[in-house]
Amino acid sequence: MRFRKHLEIEKGQKEINITPLVDMVFLLLIFFMLTSSFIVMPGIKINLPKAVTSEVIKDKNITITVNNKNVIYLEDKPITLKELADYLEGLIKTKQEKPLLIKADKDTQLGTVVRVWDICRKVGISQINIATLQEIK
């Protein structure tokens, strides 16, 4: 067996082709963007109070939200107490009454929640619920 003493190494290109690297990075970026889940809760940010005796409501509700600055929202749109009363009276007149859910921030003044509750009872809504978080026992 005869070996060559002077083996010459072929010299290739002096620069590295980075096109495949860029392609792979781009594909990985797209993959992670599509597979990651972004949880964005639409609506008004409120901190609900906790309650031990809360129950889960599965019915479709009319939602009234009161944030910590005592601003009242009807289905995520700001509304005054007068407009709220008019809207609820219209629902009662057209026989489209649904259960009502009041979501009040735990730092909301009690007087605002009582005024909203009073308007609901005054127009004749029979089922009014207050949203809470279930406290773990």
Domain membership flag for residue 126 = yes
Give the Cα separation of 31 and 37 in Å (integer): 12
- pTM as predicted: 0.60
Let me know if residue 89 belongs to a domain.
yes
Q: Encode pLDDT of 16-58 as tens digits.
A: 788 999 999 999 999 988 887 766 656 677 767 777 666 676 6
Can you give the residue range of the structural domain that contains 58?
Answer: 50-134
What CATH number corresponds to the domain at position 74?
A: 3.30.420.270
Q: How many domains does the chain divide into? A: 1
pLDDT value of position 8: 61
Nearest to 97 by CA among 130, 136, 128, 66: 128
Q: Residue 103: beta bridge partners?
A: 65
70-95 pLDDT per residue, tens: 889 988 889 999 999 998 888 888 87
Nearest to 104 by CA among 43, 44, 48: 48
- Residue 13 lies inside a defined structural domain of this protein: no
